[in-house]
Amino acid sequence: MSLRHSYTLIAPFYDAVLTAATRSARIRSLAPLNAAPAGRVLLAGVGTGLDLPHLPVQHHYVGLDLTAAMLARSRPRATALRYHPVHGSTLALPFADASFDHCVLHLILAVVPDPLRALQEAIRVTRPGGSLLVFDKFLRPGQRARLRRWLTPISGRIATRMDVEFETLLAGAPGARVESDEAALGRGWFRRVRLTRE
């Protein structure tokens, strides 16, 4: 089963599972956008738009997702925003280099089959000095987590990977530096990371 197919099937249930569990972490991750001057913001892997109600109104937002069913559910959440949904892949973003002031990567790097490529693409389309706001589940380098690693071949085909190490990704994706890295949920398994594009 492809990720496009599985996320089409789970789209109706996605919100019920994730809304309450991730609301506070999303708000904290998105907070730097509140004080930022008006700009263009990419929501890479926007999903059903759970971030949209927590975004400030001064920016122009582009929400990209691989699944049309997810994008359709995002639109009603964006009525107060300048929002443009785009059907596409985070592994090959259909945007020019440095076309966004900020990029939001919430619960996407551990979902896609090639998280390194997704991060490289996000860095590419973010302008120098812009920020990348990451919220996801990551193992620490060398963390054993045998069960998570063992389950990943199955879980990764259905919904999400559990073996992604952010530090390993960043080492393969030059051009951004870490400004902050904080535990968010699950005793630090979920983290909020803010990067600046160099």
- Residues 147-180: pLDDT tens digits? 554 444 444 444 555 678 899 999 999 999 999 9
Tell me the CATH number at 8. Answer: 3.40.50.150
pTM confidence score: 0.85
Rounded to whole angstroms, the Cα distance separating 192 from 198 reads 19
Quick one: pLDDT at residue 154? 44
| Count of structural domains, the chain | 1
The pLDDT of residue 160: 59
pLDDT digits (tens, 9 = 90+) for 11-20: 555 566 667 7
Candidates 49, 56, 48; CA nearest to 31 is 56
pLDDT of residue 164: 82
What's the burial of 7, exposed, middle or buried (CB within 10 Å: 0-12/13-18/19+)? buried
What's the pLDDT score for residue 150? 47
Pair 194, 134: CB distance under 8 Å: yes
Quick: pLDDT tens for 38-93: 999 999 999 999 999 999 999 999 999 999 988 999 999 999 999 999 999 999 99
Residue 9's domain spans which residues? 3-197
Cα–Cα dist 92/104, whole Å: 16
Terminal Cα distance for the chain, rounded: 38
Return the higher-pLDDT residue of 152 and 188: 188
